[in-house]
Amino acid sequence: ADEIASRAGISAQSEFRLRSGILYALSTALGEGSSYLPRPELLQKAAALLQVPAEILEIHLDNLAVDRLVRVRRKGEEVQIYSTQAWHEEQQIAGMLADLETAPAHRGSRKPEEVLRELETEENIELDDLQRQAVLLAAEHSILIISGGPGTGKTTTINTIIQYFDKENLEYLLAAPTGRAAKRMTEATGCEAMTIHRLLGVRAVMEEEDDTLLPGSAADDRGENIAYSFFEKGKDDPLKADAIIIDEMSMVDMHLFCSFLRAVEPGTRLILVGDVNQLPSVGPGKILHDLIESGAFRTVMLRKIFRQALESDIITNAHRILNGETPLISNKSKDFFFLERDSVPVIYKHTVELMRDMLPRYVNAGVTDIQVLTPMRKGPLGVIKLNEALQSVLNPPAANKNEVIRHEVTFREGDKVMQIR
Helices (H), 219-356: 254-262, 287-294, 307-310, 313-322, 344-353
Helices (H), 124-246: 129-140, 154-167, 179-189, 196-200
Contacts of 290 (CB under 8 A, 6+ apart): none
Question: pLDDT tens across 394-415, in order?
Answer: 999 999 999 999 888 999 999 9
By mean pLDDT, which of 40-54, 145-159, 180-194, 216-230 is the weakest? 216-230
CA distances for 206 relative to 203, 223, 256, 419, angstroms: 10, 11, 21, 21
Assigned domain for 60 exists: yes
21-45 pLDDT per residue, tens: 999 999 999 988 899 999 999 999 9
Name the domain boundary from 34, 53, 86.
Answer: 86
* Residues 173-188 pLDDT 10s: 999 999 999 999 999 9
Question: Same domain for 360 and 297?
Answer: no
Residues 137 and 53 in one domain: no
- Rounded Cα–Cα distance for residues 209 and 227 (Å): 8
DSSP-based three-state secondary structure for 173: strand
State how far the Cα of 415 lies from the Cα of 394, in Å rounded to an integer: 9
Q: Across 55-59, 222-226, 281-285, 304-308, which has the greatest mean pLDDT?
A: 55-59
The verdict on residue 155 lying in a domain is yes
Residue 67, domain extent: 1-86
Beta bridge partners of 172: 243
Predicted confidence band at 217 (pLDDT cuts at 50, 70, 90)? very low
107 within some domain = yes
Q: Are residues 156 and 181 in the same domain?
A: yes
Contact 328, 317 (CB under 8 A): yes
What SS3 class is residue 125? coil
CA distance linking residue 204 with residue 220, whole number of Å: 12
Mean pLDDT calculated for residue range 388-393: 92
369 plus 287 within the same structural domain: no
Mean pLDDT across the stretch 58-70? 96
- Is the per-residue pLDDT at 14 higher than 90? no
Residues 346 and 263 in one domain: no
Residues 239 and 134 in one domain: yes
What's the mean pLDDT in 359-363?
A: 84
Decide if 221 is inside a domain.
no
Whole-number pLDDT of residue 221 = 42
Pick the closest to residue 79 from 43, 28, 53, 48 (CA basis). 43
Average pLDDT over the chain, rounded to an integer: 88
Of 86, 115, 146, which residue constitutes the final position of a domain? 86
Q: Count each helix (H run) and each strand (E run) in the chain, helices first.
A: 17, 14
Residues 255 and 394 in one domain: no
Structure confidence at residue 225 as a pLDDT band (50, 70, 90): low
100 vs 109, which has greater pLDDT?
100
Residue 307 has pLDDT above 90, yes or no: no
Q: How many CA atoms lie within 13 A of 326 on its CB side?
A: 3
Last residue of a domain, one of 304, 331, 355: 304
One-letter amino acid at 96 equals M
Helix (H, G, I), strand (E, B) or coil at 155: helix
Query: How many Å apart are CA 296 and CA 294, to the nearest integer?
Result: 5
Determine the Cα–Cα distance for residues 199 and 246; give it in Å rounded to an integer: 11
Evaluate whether residue 330 is within a structural domain. Answer: no
Instruction: Please indicate, yes or no, if residue 324 is contained in any of the structural domains.
Output: no
If asked whether residues 407 and 355 sit together in one domain, one would say: yes
The pLDDT assigned to 211 comes to 47
Q: What CATH number is given to the structural domain containing 19?
A: 1.10.10.2220
> Can you give the CATH number for the domain in which 296 is found?
3.40.50.300
Instruction: Let me know whether 160 and 277 are in one domain.
Output: yes
| Whether the predicted model's global pTM rises above the 0.85 cut | no
Phi then psi for residue 215, to 5 deg, are -60, 145
Position 160 scores a pLDDT of 97
Looking at the structure of the chain, the number of domains it has is 3
Within 10 angstroms of residue 315's Cβ, the number of other Cβ atoms is 20
Q: How many CB atoms lie within 10 A of CB 149?
A: 19
Q: Using an 8 Å Cβ cutoff, are 86 and 36 in contact?
A: yes
pLDDT confidence bin for 11, thresholds 50/70/90: low
Query: Is the domain of 140 the same as that of 58?
Result: no
211 assigned to some structural domain: no
One domain, residues 115 and 253 = yes
Q: Can you give the length of the chain in residues?
A: 421
Using CA atoms, how far apart are residues 404 and 412, in angstroms rounded to an integer? 7
Compute the distance between CA of residue 33 and CA of residue 280 in angstroms, rounded to an integer.
9
Largest CA distance in the chain: 80
Whether residues 180 and 245 share a domain: the answer is: yes
- Asked if the structure places residue 213 within a domain, the reply is no
